[in-house]
């Protein structure tokens, strides 16, 4: 009997996934729990196993396609009678419930795959799944609208916030969907010689989409300041041995995190996001600092949660742990989401200056550049100092140039006088 396997829930708020790579093809005989496909959602890749043994009859989405949650992913011709993981019964067309826990466990897979494998639980439901973001669902609850009755005009049949508002106001959908901004025609690159064509998918495609959205939405401006790190270089050298005794590799990033958190407490408009649904500026009272790190599949932002409550040594240990997880491809969704402000640093390769792109929907991002010994004028004398540039890109919709400049001046003051920084931490 043919079994329709629907794209399962992979995480809270996830409404679709990109097909990274199929591990089977049509006509293949598969076993129960055999990996069918790698799927990417946000910045986490998961391997989805088969809930049935049998033969792959029909694959509905090819590599690079976007499959909405609740749509048929693959059809399996079953071997013998099907058995449900939930109650021992099964139907031919099974779709996961809107809030069914399909990810019962998550375990790291080989570093080469860069993802996690989930345990998929079959759950029967005769109702069609409603595709909508958490913000849209919240709006529907606030307006007393039953979201299942709202006609969808969004991509892949998704209910949008405009659909909900229109339904609440009119009790019926508008005759035509809301008009969208015209998009430029796709650029075609003709072949003119020896070349290699690599499909844009997976992590690289997600990075491209995220960066494009940030640039097209946030009104970027960048401010740069030179930092005299000489005193902090001395402090860090003195602290390295103590850190090593605790198994911690101490670099400058934990000190920079502490200075930034202190600055954010004075300038809360930079530790914020814009709720586009409600048109509210959301200022966060918590400090989850994103650290942009290069992994085997591209740039990833790991999240150091509650950075304001951590010591310098604790920050160093957590940053190192998260960086290792990215390099091994084992970072979890929890470790790759939820940041409120991001730091982008290439360490010794940091260069002189960069204009980092905001990690949308955050308000700002700081770029950390390399520390170099350079001549500087102090008290009318030319002396050698350890100098470094910090750059900050800010969303001008939510913060002004004054805010960004004053924030960076406060960070500068703390980094140049570590004693003051430690006083701020108490």
239: helix, strand or coil: helix
Q: At a CB cut-off of 8 Å and minimum separation 6, what does 161 contact?
A: 135, 136, 139, 277
Q: CB neighbours (10 Å) of residue 59?
A: 19
C-alpha distances in Å from residue 231, one per residue of 27, 361, 393: 67, 35, 26
Distance CA 189, CA 194 (A): 13
256: helix, strand or coil: helix
Distance CA 4, CA 119 (A): 17
Q: 342: part of which helix (H) or strand (E)?
A: strand 341-345
Q: What length is written for the chain?
A: 426
DSSP label of 417: -
* Per-residue exposure over 319-328, b if at least 16 CB sit within 10 Å of its own CB, e if not: bbebbebbbe
Q: CB neighbours (10 Å) of residue 230?
A: 17
C-alpha distances in Å from residue 77, one per residue of 9, 35, 38, 240, 352: 23, 16, 21, 61, 59
Q: Is 156 in the active site?
A: no
226: helix, strand or coil: strand
271: helix, strand or coil: coil
For the chain, report the end-to-end CA distance as a whole number of angstroms.
Answer: 67
CA angle 301, 304, 310 (to 5 degrees): 160
DSSP label of 209: H
Active-site residues, by number, are 396
């Amino acid at each position: 009997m043919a079994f329709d396997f629907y794209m399962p829930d992979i995480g809270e708020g996830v409404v679709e996934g990109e097909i990274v790579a199929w591990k089977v093809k049509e006509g293949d005989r598969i076993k129960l729990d055999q990996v069918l496909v790698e799927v990417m959602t946000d910045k986490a890749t998961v391997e989805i196993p088969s809930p049935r043994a049998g033969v792959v009859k029909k694959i509905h989405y090819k590599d690079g396609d976007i499959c909405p949650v609740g749509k048929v992913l693959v059809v399996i011709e079953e071997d013998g009678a099907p058995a449900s993981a939930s109650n021992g019964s099964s139907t031919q067309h099974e779709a996961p419930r809107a809030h069914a826990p399909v990810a019962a466990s998550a375990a790291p897979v080989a570093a080469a795959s860069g993802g996690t494998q989930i345990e998929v639980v079959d759950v029967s439901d005769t109702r069609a799944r409603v595709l909508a973001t958490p913000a849209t669902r919240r709006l529907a609850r606030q307006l007393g609208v039953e979201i299942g009755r709202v006609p969808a005009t969004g991509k892949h049949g998704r209910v949008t916030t405009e659909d909900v508002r229109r339904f609440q106001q009119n009790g019926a959908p508008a005759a035509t969907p809301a008009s969208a901004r015209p998009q430029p025609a796709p650029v075609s690159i003709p072949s003119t010689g020896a070349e290699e064509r690599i499909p844009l998918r997976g992590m690289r495609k997600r990075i491209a989409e995220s960066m494009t959205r940030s640039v097209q939405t946030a009104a970027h401006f960048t401010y740069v300041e030179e930092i005299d790190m000489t005193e902090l270089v001395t402090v860090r050298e003195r602290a390295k041995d103590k850190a090593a005794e605790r198994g911690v590799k101490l670099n400058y990033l934990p000190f920079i995190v502490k200075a930034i958190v202190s600055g954010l407490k004075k300038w809360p408009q930079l530790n914020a996001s814009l709720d586009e649904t409600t048109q509210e500026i959301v200022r966060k009272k918590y400090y989850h600092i994103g650290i942009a790190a290069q992994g085997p599949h591209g740039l990833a932002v790991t999240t150091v949660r509650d950075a304001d409550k951590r010591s310098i040594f604790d920050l160093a240990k957590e940053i190192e742990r998260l960086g290792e997880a990215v390099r091994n491809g084992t970072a979890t969704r929890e470790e790759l989401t939820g940041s409120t402000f991001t730091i982008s640093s290439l360490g010794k390769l940091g260069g002189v200056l960069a204009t980092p792109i905001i990690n949308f929907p955050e308000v700002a991002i700081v770029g950390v550049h390399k520390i170099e010994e350079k001549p500087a004028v102090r008290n009318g004398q030319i002396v050698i100092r350890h100098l470094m540039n910090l750059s900050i890109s800010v969303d001008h919709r939510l913060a002004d140039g004054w805010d960004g400049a004053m924030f960076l001046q406060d960070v500068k003051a703390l980094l140049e006088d570590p004693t003051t920084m430690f006083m701020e931490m108490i």
